A and B are shown apart, each in its own frame.
Chain A
């Protein structure tokens, strides 16, 4: 699934995290297809309007009106999402929560704070199909 310039969808309600990821993905990594949603309102409509379809989806967990788990469930109904890695990007990384992420079907978890230096490489590894549970950082 490696794409030179993967399309990424990121859903995050914390403005600083959005700004940070925007600086990283758009600014530093210069990825052309980065969509950042600031809430999960009309989530399905936003997702369906995406073009191109994302190669990787990053979801925050504690969100409203839909939380990360609910967004995951909705996403999994789309045919094109079946092989798209959906990774949690969350600050809730106590083992119970991570276990819940795993059991509900996330393809990995990246803990906040993220590591700027290794993040591009980590994204590449995820796009190559590796499942990463970066619980401690």
Chain B
């Protein structure tokens, strides 16, 4: 049922305890935007009526003087009213706002009916005031049609009540008639609510269907663009690696003397060519890895029997190669009985190489120390160096893509992607990578990898 816009009524004017009041009348978050004002009006009305109702019930005898009705009937109808108000208020605090509104409209009618059925005199002058309230509330809280229906029901009810005879035998039939009118109107309200729910359900279903179509289209587009991107990355990798293969290796043939003698200077220059080409290759690898990580399309080739001892050994061997010509020592403490872990062999090696080669690059004297140990259900690899260290404020930057610290930039080379890639790869394995360092006191990088991560599924080649 589409609620028509209600006259704007400021709830804030009613009371000075603005904040408390707002808290008590603010509708639940599930109430749709267009109904929010009505719901807070409903809550406000209920909150105003509650103390009045309680007050009236306490000083019921005064009411008796005013209306001439028996105290018992007034009291009962008052408590019914209070109960109704509380229930309606609870409804108004939840998304069942409409139930609350119906209840508020129905409660006065019920209360009057209760008085009418038990009273001796047919006239209910004061009832007219209460019933008019129902119509006003209806217009405030619900739509125009409901207001008209409420008005008609109340009018019929009053006409019957007003015209019923004093004769007690006939009164029974009039009472039944009144009951019928009320029962019919209640049923009408119930079926109205049901229809409204069915309609809103149908609307919601249609909206959902439209949404699904929109989402489907968006997903298709995203998938297409993902495929295009993946295909582009794959072919870029292929197209760049093919000529680099020629550049690096033909140059090497010349350096190695396969084509005849070369002078020292030629060797030196050609070695620069190879070095630069290899640097370019690393750049390509890193950029491709980073874009895969950022696109969330990093696929791990998981195996169940990755031997950490041999992986760390192989990374250490590469690291030692990098230290040739430096006084820095690379020490490794690798136990032989490390468990086999579930991981992507190549990617773990990449993590280790990134950290170890970084440590070797930045440490001009002293040592680089590689420690590996099993700790609970993880393998912990710690690589510490006696290099320049990383200032506290720069530590987060180390793991950010395309950023390098001042020291990193001064040292030159590198893409600044190695550490972010390593961290992402460790996390993709369900592991962690972090660093401890103080400026001037070296740095320690820790990698913790789960031995048998449940989230990783081994591939069967």
Contacts and interface: CB of A to CB of B under 8 A. Distances in A.
Contact of A98 (B241, B256, B298, B301): B301
Given A94-B233, A94-B234, A114-B249, A17 B242 contact: yes
Contacts of A94: 233-234, 237, 288, 292
Contact of B246 (A17, A111, A137): A17
Nearest to B345: A133
Nearest to B255: A116
A66 interface: no
Interface in B199-246: 230, 233-234, 237-239, 241-246
Contact of A23 (B244, B258, B288, B300): B258
A20 B249 contact: yes
A113 B461 contact: no
A62 B235 CA distance: 10
A117 to B, nearest CB: 8
A91 B246 contact: no
Contacts of B230: 96
B245 A103 contact: no
B10 interface: no
Interface in B331-353: 346, 350
A116 B255 CA distance: 12
Given A113-B245, A133-B346, A92 B238 contact: yes
A97 interface: yes
Contacts of A97: 234
A17 B298 CA distance: 29
Nearest to A135: B346
A111 B241 contact: yes
B20 interface: no
A91 B238 contact: yes
Judged by DSSP, the binding face of B is helix
A23 B237 contact: no
Contacts of A113: 241, 244-245, 248-249, 281
A103 B460 CA distance: 8
B444 to A, nearest CB: 25
B252 interface: yes
A94 B245 CA distance: 16
B461 A103 contact: yes
Contacts, number: 79
Bin the interface of chain A by size: 20 to 34
Highest count of chain B CB atoms <10 Å: which of A23, A112, A117: A112
B237 A95 contact: no
A62 B249 CA distance: 21
A97 B245 CA distance: 19
A7 to B, nearest CB: 22
Interface in B278-329: 281, 285, 288, 292, 298-301
A27 interface: yes
A14 B239 CA distance: 11
Interface string A109-137: 00111101100000000000000010111
Given A96-B234, A99-B459, A14 B350 contact: no
B193 to A, nearest CB: 56
A28 interface: yes
A87 to B, nearest CB: 14
A27 B258 contact: yes
Contacts of A136: 285, 346, 350
B197 interface: no
B460 to A, nearest CB: 9
B253 interface: yes
Given A94-B233, A133-B346, A99 B299 contact: yes
B461 A102 contact: yes
B250 interface: yes
A82 interface: no
B237 A93 contact: yes
Interface in A2-18: 14, 16-17
27 contacts: A16-B242, A16-B246, A16-B250, A20-B246, A20-B250, A20-B253, A27-B258, A62-B238, A90-B238, A91-B239, A92-B237, A93-B241, A94-B234, A94-B237, A94-B292, A95-B301, A96-B234, A99-B301, A102-B461, A103-B461, A111-B241, A112-B245, A113-B245, A117-B252, A133-B346, A136-B346, A136-B350
Interface of A: 14, 16-17, 20, 23-24, 27-28, 62, 90-99, 102-103, 111-114, 116-117, 133, 135-137
Interface of B: 230, 233-234, 237-239, 241-246, 248-250, 252-253, 256, 258, 281, 285, 288, 292, 298-301, 346, 350, 459, 461
